[in-house]
Chains A and B, each alone.
Chain A
């Protein structure tokens, strides 16, 4: 007990003295949160559109005006010639151009089918798809209203649409991507912080040869391992709480689920990440190399292969298969279940088992590896 306490105390003293790292541990996550929270936004809003109204009638103006009632679109440019469409799309000033034909109002009055031309900048496929979807919905709505009115005129008061869609969005009602990203961000930041701090703290002892002095003492390997990782576990938990508080303040995140579940599952994940950090420290000899390896092992897979940003379901089978070795994948499902859905153990017990397996393997293998250098 005395030996374990001595190591923990020493580790905290060193952390306390290393102000730069301490600040980094606190501000780096906050910084990432701001960057990811504000910059990564899959919501397509404020699409600037140009309109070439060849009809210039009461009906066409009404049609256009209705666009602006949606906050998806901003009517920015009134065009006069087809040439101008090329210019506005090429220069990126407008994402979308609408052409209303000369006979728009006449055809409508006669009850004929009217065609409207829409030209979308498809460079960003995501934005293009979303805009197209929004437009379809808007125009269907508009047409249905017209048909209903027309039917009313002839005395038929019937629902014009046989099948109607009544959408209810659960969990993230406003469909905000920031809310979806925050649980992932918590996992992502914890992964990086845990792995790097642990790896560096042990490699630093190797670099300065203090590890030799420790290995001459009668300290047991498990005491050293627990003593060295415990302080970083505490720091990681503080970091997590900090991110959550920032998420609540800045992005209206609410934790719908049980805080105890959140705490326990996070602990399992943190232990696994600390184990990974120890593993890196066992196989590297300098802080620089350990840092590089930690970044490569944590950053890329956690961003790309965990479902943090890109949905795993739409990836090729082989890549989905590789993603099973990325621990964040499991933790993410758990975090999203608890924070966004507020669901219980029933919805993530399998993920928790995988995560526990991962953490156990990490701790066992890294302990064996570290024992060899002690």
Chain B
């Protein structure tokens, strides 16, 4: 049993990877009936995560990917071959009873498979269609292909992550696949609210690179207002904070190999509190008492703070600063934040699902709790075609013989 918030809604879902599947994972955890459609001919491998590591044990196969499972919990999975007329008819029947159609194919792919927006509207006039491709459905790059790192590169997010003089560090994962999914979910929800008020559906055209470019606003205004580009000597230096200005502000070495602690002094009061915790003569230097002085001496300050943190346990540094109400945190390893963090444990952030082949597996939960209609995640991601009988039988009302016929015809 998933949540109940959206249990009155049904999604005809062609999404995959994370940039699309993440959106419908959210909707499913909130209770929407998400019917994920995959291609039986390619064994669902359009979604490259099907069959990809990590694996829970020594077994391999399209149903055993920990990544796929993580992004597809609480969905129903069925297989439909859109190359066949029978398959296209099944999709028509699903659209006819759905509130929204979601997909993140390259632009135009679903239309070429026989389902342009106009066809969806013919089947279901108030349908909401949300397409999410790298560059959107229009414009000179509409046919260009992306995955997370490409979206991040073109949208400016790769560039804006790095240390002075070292070139882009970028994001060590597909940050924009997460937010592609989140922005897509917002698009579905906003379109549903509009439909509730007006009775109208619409085609929401989302380009993931625009979603990424939208996440660097203040830096972009510094250019359009002040002619000051982020690409300038010494910039960016994203462990520091110039938007807004803070110092010291950085990630400092701690005892142990590759162990770090983050410290942010928001204002002079934070600095005074930090200086007291440090208790060394340099911390009492009057030059550092006000923000302007600390900003002017950031390089020197970073060396001094590093000298204090290096050799100290990262958790001890963070705790001693937190006790003085100064923002500080260990740089958490996955193990730290998943297995040894009272914050995530109390939140219930890592629910265990029951997967039909993998057994019990922990997955990412959701970072909000709703007081009346909270999310729930219990069922694992669907194996290929796992819910064919549920979708075609219980939901579409086909008989066993009809379903057998579809199977023999290669339609499912």
Partners in one complex: no
- Listed in ascending order, the chain A residues whose CB lies under 8 Å from chain B are none
